[in-house]
Structure 1
Amino acid sequence: MHEPAGARAPSDLDDLVGADLTARVTVDEHGTVTGWNAGAERLLGHPAGEIVGRPAAGLLAEPPRGRDLPPFPRLRRWHGTVALRHRDGRTLTAKVLAHHRTRENGRREWFCVSAPPDRPSPPERHDDPFVSWSFTQSPCCATALYDTRLRLRRANRAMERAVALTEDDMLGLRVGEIVDDPAGRRAEESMARVLRTGEVEVDEDFLTAAGETRVGAWSLLMSPLRDAGGVVRGVCLTAHDMTEQHWARRRLQLIAEAGRRIGTTLDVMRTAQELADVVVPELADFASVDLLTAVDDPPDTSRRGGPPPGPLELLRAAHQSVTPGVPEAVTALGSLERFSEGSAPVETLRSGHATAYEMTHPAITALVAHDPVRAARVREFGIHSVMTVPLTARGTTLGVAVLARHRHPEIFQQDDVVLAEELAARAAVCMDNARRYTHERDRSVTLQRSLLPQRLPEQAAVEVATRYLPAGAHTGVGGDWFDVIPLSGARVALVVGDVVGHGIHASATMGRLRTAVRTLADIDLAPDELLTHLDDLVSRLSTERDGGRTRERHPECEGEVGATCLYAVYDPISRRCSLARAGHPPPVVVAPGGAAERVDLPPGPPLGVGGLPFEAAEIDLPEGSLLALYTDGLITPGGRSRAGDGDGEADVSRLSGLLTGPEPTLDALCDRILTDLLPPRPPDDVALLVARTRALDASQVATWQVPSTPSAVAQARKDALARLDAWGLEDAAFVTELVVSELVTNAIRHARPPVQLRLIHLTHEDSLICEVSDGDSTAPHLRRARTFDEGGRGLLLVAQLTRRWGTRQSSHGKTIWAEQPLDV
């Protein structure tokens, strides 16, 4: 305990108690006298100069017989009556109390004390017998009375039991001489203050009682003893053994600390290390955690007795020690070790119960019998007690924790076993949670990646690189996605979206939305119209999820479905890009040789809100421009950027700087962006799509305005064939002539002017596109003509002779297109 202000200095205390009244001698392990005080000189007449450095046996009146000597090296303390020889030759009989102690330098010695020859005799028992009986026989607390020199005058039976000495053995000795421990010195200082101030002192201290191996907790009350005139004549020391309450508090504190420190992550190996860190040094001097090698799919022990019979191979997941470097460990972290049948870890896994062993137990001898390295470590560190604790949660066996003691003097007790089981049970639940989460996350990642594009489609409009990075352990996989969709007229749609939530259901919802986007893109909807249809779909999904039957069957699906999306369409012929967003971060664009800037897009509500319009914007993108689409996990990952400032605008600025930096490829640019902007384990999913625009040369496109007269069809065919000759595509003349004739004829006959014919030669894809635009919004339908019909077979022939065909609406009418391959 800390010494309060006003305490006596040690020299004052020695003066008060008369330190030299007691004979004090120290003897080393070889029996040589190393210390001799004035009290010893007064007792035996030898000055220190004559005795120090000489054998202590020379002080005995007669040499002891070997068979009469106790086992001194194994004793902590010895007391008895010794016949000593005075310097003048006479024999003296003295009561000696000897403490076996270790000095700060690690050397062992005996500290021997003997009360003054004129020590006080036991007081006469003239008081009331009831008073005497109550003092000596009181079972409630240990009590001792000390005089004004703080030397013991009386001790009751409880005090005698506490120190394992009789009252006669202690008469005339100080507290620090009876108890060779710093606690004795502190108690003596408190008693000195009681003599000086007359005030009661209350203290709490820790020491190991005689015959005990565990440190005990004692509550001390020191009160003054006054005579009839109020003069302080001594001190009453009362000691209450609070060891059980103290250790109960320590166990509760350790359990509470385990609740804070174990399971901070959803990582099995980290949780195992946290368990080892908690039990060392409070419960054990060394701890290891070994897991079944099939921890990803461990055995279910709820219906049978543990793992299958035979030796077991365990993985060292964690270990910890009071000794730096964990030298007790035989197995390295991450290594496998095979444990034989009958060894302590295997027996514990079989029984499912924690067990404490001494080193002579067959389960321990089986563990070290065939392992000389482990046997050497046991001898080297003096391991005297081992405890094995199974790690079991929800009927599943995960592994075993092994605890060992070598600095703790006492072996493991039943209370320690109960505490270890409680700590292991908490850790096992956390490990099982981590294991189950890992399985769930792996399934989510697999589903998520399977729903994302496996390879990007070939198209002539842009060069694309993409990245998807799942969230770290705490959050789980979400519903971020990207897509690249080829459209008619050599155009391309670029999509990035983010579904609210995490887990398998977010991934599944993402798959449904991605499919819907591709379906809507196939009918060539404008970006704002596509988002409007997608918003209706998300609203219907929320209605389905809120339905009672859905909640009853899949309670984990409860809650609204929400998502954000950015949809962009780029035309490499006009070099224009049309974009719309639904609650999504706007893209960043970098013109060739220019600075990066965010595209100013109308915000638009998130998908699923319903009832609010979406607006599109158009921008010009020169050839070679960079367009970066991303989810919010890239710029505000969990509210905090890699720089730790949590500022999304700062992350956008850093993203802009990275986009303008030199990188050899788009893939390298994506890697650089993720590395610089994200922590190693981002708390939210990230989808990134970076596109570099291409442009079709004017020589690859031919456009004609067609008069709305039937005779113009022939001229349109001639113009088309002439262009094919210029391109060197004579082999495509027959199909192209038929397609041009049919589409232009339909436009003149069934639609309104203006009529336009356009041919697009996609050298990158080795294909030819024929487009006919008119001023009518009515789309044609493919049908089969009846036997005697004079028409109705044109579009059927177009569909049969081309790779694909379709129609798209515009603000001025519609366009019918057909694409034919040139590599056949």
Structure 2
Amino acid sequence: MDPARGDDDERALIERAFRQASVSMSVFDAVQRYLRLNAVACEVMGLGEEALRGHAFPYGLPADVDQLGTLQALRDVAATGKPTHYESYTRAPSGIREHAWNLELWPVRDDRGEVCAVGMAGFDSSEQHWARQRLAVLDEAAVSVGTTLDLDRTARELAELVVPRFADFTSVDLLEAVMHGEEPEDGGPDADIVLRRAAHLSTEPGTPEAVIGLGASDAYPPYSPPARALHTGRPVLSGSGDPDFDRWIAGVPARAARMRGFVVTSLLAVPLIARGTTLGVAVLLRTRPDAFTEDDFALAREIAGRAALCVDNARRYTRERSTALTLQESLLPRGTSPQSAVDVACRYLPTDSRAGVGGDWFDIIPLSGARVGLVVGDVVGHGIQASATMGRLRTAVQTLADVDLPPDELLAHLDDLVLRLGGDEENGGRAGVGGTGATCLYAVYDPVSRMLSAASAGHPPPVLVLPDGATKVVDIGVGPVLGVGGLPFETTELELPEGTLVALYTDGLVEAADRDPDLGISRLRQALAGSRSTLEDRCDQVLSALLPKHPGDDVALVLARTKALDADHVQVWDLAADFEGVSEARRLAIAQLDAWGLTEEAFVTELVVSELVTNAIRYGAEPIQLRLILDRTLICEVSDGNSTSPHLRRARIYDEGGRGLLLVAQLTADWGTRHTATGKTIWAEQALTPAT
């Protein structure tokens, strides 16, 4: 065999292998000029070998194709003589779609070992690239979607996940009921489905609304791909050429006119279904040449499934929070009626945390004798259970306050109630109030004596701002939290100058994870002392000064400025314990009404005074005292030293007594009994005529 002939055959074989290789192969000289290209390389470049040979790279590459990276890799191999690997994601000159390329570059050396050329082999790794991208998107979806329980935020996270890496535009449209936390209803296969745009994102600014045509709320036509996905519960892959898609896009001329430069090549409409309930639809569009594939179809369905669970969790949280807020708001005072004892401003601020609405509450309770009860409380915990418990405690406080119990006795009865509630719920298999705890502060202010009486069950003390601007924390005996039982509560009394500001609050205002309660109370004193604005403005200033943008706990705040009833509005007489004193009491009362200009109220007042004084003499004990208070109503009070309370009853035909209190109840706006340290006081309030 001729050795020369054998070498020629070998070179011919190598040449055929080079030209027929299934990968792109090229050879460049040391200054990056084309020397050789095989058939696949020529196909990729869209030019023949003769047209490229002798030209320096990047000859033949359009401007929008990656050039600098490949050129630098060629130069590095020629300069260093070391092989390198380079990855690029760009389109081939001969095509319109983008591809992922793995380029292997190696030096070609002459007989002396010098680099005389650079060889390059290009592998189209688009499928592997997209597979990695899809896995990366799934991994990121697990940690980036559903980071909060906010519906809008969750929808936004889904949009940011898929644009631009997976789609050029996406919209997340949820059913109107879902946005309010409600269960969506099935409107039938042919009904227009009304949605609300929760989020959208696009690589083309200004295009999303033009393409989809949804504002705050709108309906997808039944024939459109998104509506088909919603009705069938299955993803829909569509795009230009689909009659329904073209009809939908072209349905509104103004919309089509706004779509300049935004040509949709492919669409994926994926229903958001969680726990068997359709919540909305995610619409993904591509304007890039690469249409969605079956792999993309599967990926979108997986992402939508995960996102739908997050949306449903957010919906359920929205429903529970809305229910708890509604319950909380319905149980809190809707407004404070005018008081002669105090001017009041109040605030309740629910928490922004995912724990939900808490159990903070406040109340302003009118009491007999022109007094007022001020209440703040806090049920530990969050959610509907805490709100419901708060409502029960607030009702109990109102009921106990109505019988005029002093603060320490009221809290003792409330403590017993909490123990019973906790026992009942624990027997029912649930954690009771006694297991979670509740705090309460109850204070009573009397504008006649200007005395403030207060008792605390584990609650922060009131803060006072005196008329001269000085602040003071009330040194109150803080008892145990409600539900502990067995320990007494203590009433603290102090006389307040007229115009004193009393601040009651819950711990959410002064406590935080990074703040000591004493520091919080100090900041509260500074905020209160540094303002001379109205009570409403001062409430806002305090909340702004002490709370972060998103408070971690509920906050209740009550600001009450004390007033006083002077001697011109209050008259007191000591009466003898004999029936002759009844006529004297009537005479004194009528004379005082004449001095106040209340002659029209004289008849009723005379009857009330006569009945109450007679009962005190007949059934009570000394000392007996009559007091008239001119307030928003005319208040008549008769006190005696017997603690036995009278009872209203209906007298029978032949009874000689028992009709007096019934007449008092019929002729006055309200009446009642309160116990004192020395006996009791029976009082009656008489509405004043409009003229007075």
Q: Normalising TM by the smaller chain, what interval?
A: 0.7 to 0.9
Q: CA deviation at 1:147?
A: 5.3
Could you say if the C-alpha distance between residues 558 and 208 of structure 1 is closer, same or farther in structure 2, counting changes exceeding 3 Å?
farther
**Residue 58 of structure 2: SS of its match in structure 1?**
helix
Matches within 5 A, 1:652-671: 652-653=524-525, 655-657=527-529, 660-663=531-534, 666-667=535-536, 669-670=538-539
In 1, the alpha carbon distance for the partners of 2:329 and 2:584 equals 48
Match of 1:414 among 245, 270, 294: 294
Matches within 5 A, 1:415-564: 415-454=295-334, 456=336, 460-472=340-352, 474-547=354-427, 549-551=428-430, 560-564=435-439
What is aligned with 2:440?
Answer: 565
In 2, the alpha carbon distance for the partners of 1:151 and 1:250 equals 35
Q: CA deviation at 1:758?
A: 3.7
Q: CA RMSD in A?
A: 4.1
CA contact (8 A) 1:175 1:185 kept: no
Q: CA deviation at 1:309?
A: 0.5
Q: CA deviation at 1:697?
A: 2.5
User: TM-score if structure 2 supplies the norm length?
Assistant: 0.82
**Residue 713 of structure 1: SS of its match in structure 2?**
coil
In 2, the alpha carbon distance for the partners of 1:559 and 1:192 equals 78
Q: CA deviation at 1:245?
A: 3.0
1:770 aligns with 2:638: yes
Could you say if the C-alpha distance between residues 228 and 767 of structure 1 is closer, same or farther in structure 2, counting changes exceeding 3 Å?
same
In 1, the alpha carbon distance for the partners of 2:83 and 2:102 equals 13
What is aligned with 2:671?
Answer: 804
Query: Structure 1, residues 100-141: CA drift from partner, whole Å, max 9, x if none?
Result: xxxxxxxxxxxxxxxxxxxxxxx9543696x888877776x6
What is aligned with 2:609?
Answer: 736
1:696 aligns with 2:561: no
In 1, the alpha carbon distance for the partners of 2:651 and 2:116 equals 131
In 1, the alpha carbon distance for the partners of 2:259 and 2:688 equals 78
In 1, the alpha carbon distance for the partners of 2:25 and 2:174 equals 52
Could you say if the C-alpha distance between residues 435 and 256 of structure 1 is closer, same or farther in structure 2, counting changes exceeding 3 Å?
same
In 2, the alpha carbon distance for the partners of 1:558 and 1:177 equals 81
Amino acid paired to 2:375: V
Could you say if the C-alpha distance between residues 125 and 766 of structure 1 is closer, same or farther in structure 2, counting changes exceeding 3 Å?
farther
Match of 2:227 among 346, 369, 378: 346
Match of 1:821 among 664, 686, 689: 686
1:720 aligns with 2:560: no
Query: Structure 1, residues 304-338: CA drift from partner, whole Å, max 9, x if none?
Result: xx854044444444333223334762677744444
CA contact (8 A) 1:138 1:158 kept: yes
In 2, the alpha carbon distance for the partners of 1:255 and 1:475 equals 28
Q: CA deviation at 1:156?
A: 6.7
What is aligned with 1:575?
Answer: 450
**Residue 737 of structure 1: SS of its match in structure 2?**
helix
Amino acid paired to 2:92: A
Could you say if the C-alpha distance between residues 447 and 512 of structure 1 is closer, same or farther in structure 2, counting changes exceeding 3 Å?
same
Query: Structure 1, residues 72-117: CA drift from partner, whole Å, max 9, x if none?
Result: xxxxxxxxxxxxxxxxxxxxxxxxxxxxxxxxxxxxxxxxxxxxxx
Q: CA deviation at 1:704?
A: 5.1
CA contact (8 A) 1:757 1:773 kept: no
Could you say if the C-alpha distance between residues 773 and 485 of structure 1 is closer, same or farther in structure 2, counting changes exceeding 3 Å?
farther
In 1, the alpha carbon distance for the partners of 2:9 and 2:45 equals 23
Query: Structure 1, residues 757-816: CA drift from partner, whole Å, max 9, x if none?
Result: 242324321231222236xxx6457498999x999x67x844663443324242xx3324
Q: CA deviation at 1:358?
A: 2.7
Could you say if the C-alpha distance between residues 379 and 344 of structure 1 is closer, same or farther in structure 2, counting changes exceeding 3 Å?
farther
Q: CA deviation at 1:657?
A: 3.7
**Residue 479 of structure 2: SS of its match in structure 1?**
coil
In 1, the alpha carbon distance for the partners of 2:630 and 2:20 equals 110
Unaligned runs of at least 5 residues, structure 2: 1-6, 594-600
Q: CA deviation at 1:396?
A: 2.7
Greater RCO structure (CA 8 Å; 6+ sep): 2
CA contact (8 A) 2:648 2:662 kept: no
Could you say if the C-alpha distance between residues 610 and 159 of structure 1 is closer, same or farther in structure 2, counting changes exceeding 3 Å?
farther
In 2, the alpha carbon distance for the partners of 1:541 and 1:167 equals 91
Query: Structure 1, residues 731-777: CA drift from partner, whole Å, max 9, x if none?
Result: 223332232132244333xxxx6x24242324321231222236xxx
Could you say if the C-alpha distance between residues 452 and 226 of structure 1 is closer, same or farther in structure 2, counting changes exceeding 3 Å?
same
Amino acid paired to 1:348: A
Amino acid paired to 1:215: E
Match of 2:10 among 112, 123, 126: 126
CA contact (8 A) 1:300 1:397 kept: no
CA contact (8 A) 1:631 1:688 kept: yes
Unaligned runs of at least 5 residues, structure 1: 1-122
**Residue 329 of structure 1: SS of its match in structure 2?**
helix
1:220 aligns with 2:103: yes
Aligned residues: 667
In 2, the alpha carbon distance for the partners of 1:575 and 1:185 equals 86
Query: Structure 1, residues 11-31: CA drift from partner, whole Å, max 9, x if none?
Result: xxxxxxxxxxxxxxxxxxxxx
In 1, the alpha carbon distance for the partners of 2:521 and 2:292 equals 58
CA contact (8 A) 1:148 1:195 kept: yes
Q: CA deviation at 1:520?
A: 2.5
CA contact (8 A) 2:193 2:227 kept: yes
What is aligned with 2:465?
Answer: 590
What is aligned with 1:72?
Answer: none
Query: Structure 1, residues 403-440: CA drift from partner, whole Å, max 9, x if none?
Result: 3333x232222233333333333443333333333332
User: TM-score if structure 1 supplies the norm length?
Assistant: 0.70
**Residue 126 of structure 1: SS of its match in structure 2?**
helix
Q: CA deviation at 1:661?
A: 1.2
What is aligned with 2:92?
Answer: 209
CA contact (8 A) 2:224 2:248 kept: yes
Larger Rg: 1
Could you say if the C-alpha distance between residues 377 and 420 of structure 1 is closer, same or farther in structure 2, counting changes exceeding 3 Å?
farther
Q: CA deviation at 1:651?
A: 4.4
Matches within 5 A, 1:303-318: 307-318=188-199
In 1, the alpha carbon distance for the partners of 2:433 and 2:89 equals 57
Identity %: 43
Amino acid paired to 1:648: G
CA contact (8 A) 1:225 1:234 kept: yes
What is aligned with 2:598?
Answer: none
Match of 1:288 among 171, 182, 190: 171
CA contact (8 A) 1:330 1:373 kept: no
**Residue 484 of structure 1: SS of its match in structure 2?**
strand
In 2, the alpha carbon distance for the partners of 1:327 and 1:352 equals 24
**Residue 373 of structure 2: SS of its match in structure 1?**
strand
In 1, the alpha carbon distance for the partners of 2:608 and 2:217 equals 69
